[in-house]
Copies of this chain bind each other. A is one copy, B any other.
Amino acid sequence: MKYRFNKVLGATLAAAILATSASVLAQQAPKPESLIKWRQSAFQVVAWNAGRIKTSLEGTYNKEEVQRAANTIAAIANTGLGGLFAPGTEQGKGWHDTSAKPELFKDGKHFGELGASFGKEANELASVANGGDVAAIKAQFGKVQRTCKACHDDFKAKD
């Protein structure tokens, strides 16, 4: 009886462990279309916040608005966007077909450098935004925009 109980318990435990492992594996490897959707979303959020900064710098300057937007761009730039360009996502559809050029997946070193540059300049923008010096914010915002363009030029297909 004791043996049988342990056998049943053992089988139940094994099934539970298998189910848990499968669940963890499923979480660790999101579907390619999810990764593509998330990276398309992340860049939309960057575009939204870049627009907020541009509007504030060209119209009536709102310090808090610029701080929030710059902080959001910095967080996204440094969150590990590279992980969303995992192997298997060279082609595919998130919200729409990926705009990533095939070259992106062949030159990880250059892509990584451009990503690091985006993160560095975005952090500096968030820092300068806290100071509230509009001329300094404009200059630093220009630097961030150039890191966007550099990466788009090399790795984003034209719409």
Encode contact with B along A70-114: 1 for CB under 8 Å, 0 otherwise. Answer: 011011101110001000000000010000000000000000000
Q: How far is the CA of A28 from the CA of B55 in the complex (A)?
A: 6
Q: Return the contact of A95 from the options B47, B48, B68, B95 (Cβ within 8 A).
A: B95
Number of chain A interface residues as a range:
20 to 34
Report if A55-B42 is in contact (Cβ < 8 Å); known contacts: A68-B80, A76-B72. Answer: no
Give, as a whole number of angstroms, the nearest-CB distance from A32 to chain B: 14
Q: Mark A44-84, 1 if CB is under 8 A from B, else 0.
A: 11011101001100110000010011011011101110001
Interface residues in chain A, defined as those with a beta carbon under 8 Å from any beta carbon in chain B: 23-24, 27-28, 30, 34, 37-38, 40-42, 44-45, 47-49, 51, 54-55, 58-59, 65, 68-69, 71-72, 74-76, 78-80, 84, 95
